[in-house]
Amino acid sequence: MEVNRPDILILGAGILGSATAWHLARRSAGSITVVDLDLAGTFSSSERNAGGCRATWWHPLNAELSWRSLRFYESIADRIQFFQRGYLFLYPRRGWEVALQKRKQYEVLGIPVEYLKPGELRKKLPEFENLKGVAGATFSPRDGLLDPHLLKEYYREGARRLGVHFVDRCYAVGAKTRGAHLEALRVLRHRGRHPLEEASLERIQTLHRVEDPEEWEEERFQAKIFVNCTGSWLPISSRLYARESPVRAVRRQISLFSSHEEDFSDRGMIVDSSGLYFHAEGRHSGLILAGYSNRDEKPGYSFRYDGDPFFDRKVWLRLYRRGGRRHFEAIRHLRGWAGLYAVSPDKTAILGRVPDFENLYELGAATGRGVMQSYALGSLMSELVTGGRFETLDAAPLTGERFAQRRALEESLDI
């Protein structure tokens, strides 16, 4: 059996694993290897999201993590296609009251936010003729949309240039621990050349039992430090070292439709008070991407897109109620997809050392913020791993222990 011995082993090469690898390499943290079941991202949320990036979160730590990241994205805007056309966020009465209370918080951080009454909102969004239930809106002009794949590749490229190894088709199935030390991960490497498919998901989840020596060979990764960045798969991967994770995987769906009557391409993300969010895909393409977070969705692993029933009920109906026949009668559903949110009990990321282990860390559960916060989260993780403490921002409240300690960071604005 082959044994690999990097100084640091990162499990999971989604946007958070890739960002962490890059930041660690920039700090010359030693030899770094990142392993993933599929580097192309078949099982990764980082390839299935909406690419939204905004700093207007209600919890100050979430606002700060996004704002720090956003300012970095501004500096590489061309590379990651970061278009700052703003976020237009429509609130029902209660949400509007909270948004007004957050004004000071945004001012202190330097985040520009305009507050709009329904009359002013109409000028920005004339397609929404019916503003029933909307008490007010915020417009944050420096927020915007970026290409998450390009951002992930930016981190990976930078990491590779600094010597980081990314190892494909490796699925961690076991761990060797000694006292407070994780000594090694046992990994199955897929020998096949064909692309891994979503359909193989069920098999992968039961891999521990159905190991097929024809297709999989066993390897071992020994390291001084381990960082688990397996996103929605944390509840499964943390069992390798006998931890019950509070994180849950929840399916989220996105639809793509054409709308040749309305062109939203000069505007950024629009979030309706009904929970629907949408933005133009590309310039003047007539394509619109829309998502809706179904509150009744039960936790679980599914990449099934519900198709027309989802589009008709969750997307089209909400737009039709706002803009009627004139604006949204002729839109045409093209396709869609589903991905997984990794949700913690307070809907905020977990970043920290795993209790009872000296050399094991977890970073994940970023719900709908993993892309927009990846720069700051990866940077903070690299500070903790190399120096044992946070240097640029006190991220200690993000520890996974906060739930047992009743110190949750409730982020109620979870779209």
Ligand X SMILES: Cc1cc2nc3c(=O)[nH]c(=O)nc-3n(C[C@H](O)[C@H](O)[C@H](O)COP(=O)(O)OP(=O)(O)OC[C@H]3O[C@@H](n4cnc5c(N)ncnc54)[C@H](O)[C@@H]3O)c2cc1C
Binding site for ligand X (CB under 6 A): 11-17, 35-38, 41, 43-46, 48-52, 170-172, 229-233, 237, 252, 254, 291, 339-341, 364, 366, 368-372
HSE-up of 301 (CA within 13 Å, CB side)?
Answer: 18
Q: State in angstroms the smallest separation of the CB of 218 from ligand X.
A: 13
Q: State in angstroms the smallest separation of the CB of 130 from ligand X.
A: 26
CA distances from 329 to 213, 261, 264, 278, 320 (A): 55, 9, 16, 16, 7
| For ligand X, the closer CB: 14 or 136 | 14
| For ligand X, the closer CB: 170 or 331 | 170
Q: State in angstroms the smallest separation of the CB of 122 from ligand X.
A: 26
Question: DSSP assignment of 60-116, as one string?
Answer: HHHHHHHHHHHHHHHHTHHHHT-B---EEEEE-HHHHHHHHHTHHHHHHHT---EEE
| For ligand X, the closer CB: 232 or 245 | 232
Q: State in angstroms the smallest separation of the CB of 413 from ligand X.
A: 13
Q: State in angstroms the smallest separation of the CB of 330 from ligand X.
A: 25
| For ligand X, the closer CB: 135 or 170 | 170
Task: Give the burial string for 296-315 (b: 16+ CB within 10 Å, else e).
Answer: eeeeebebebbeeebbeebb
* Contact residues for 29 (Cβ-Cβ < 8 A; gap 6+): 7, 8, 382, 385, 386
| For ligand X, the closer CB: 43 or 264 | 43
> CA-CA distance, 243 to 404, in Å (whole number)?
13
| For ligand X, the closer CB: 135 or 276 | 276
Q: State in angstroms the smallest separation of the CB of 93 from ligand X.
A: 25
Question: DSSP assignment of 306-360, as one string?
Answer: --HHHIIIIIIHHHHHHHHHHHHTT-EEEEEEEEEEEE-TTSS-EEEEPTT-SSE
Q: What is the DSSP letter of 21?
A: H
Q: State in angstroms the smallest separation of the CB of 97 from ligand X.
A: 25
| For ligand X, the closer CB: 305 or 403 | 305
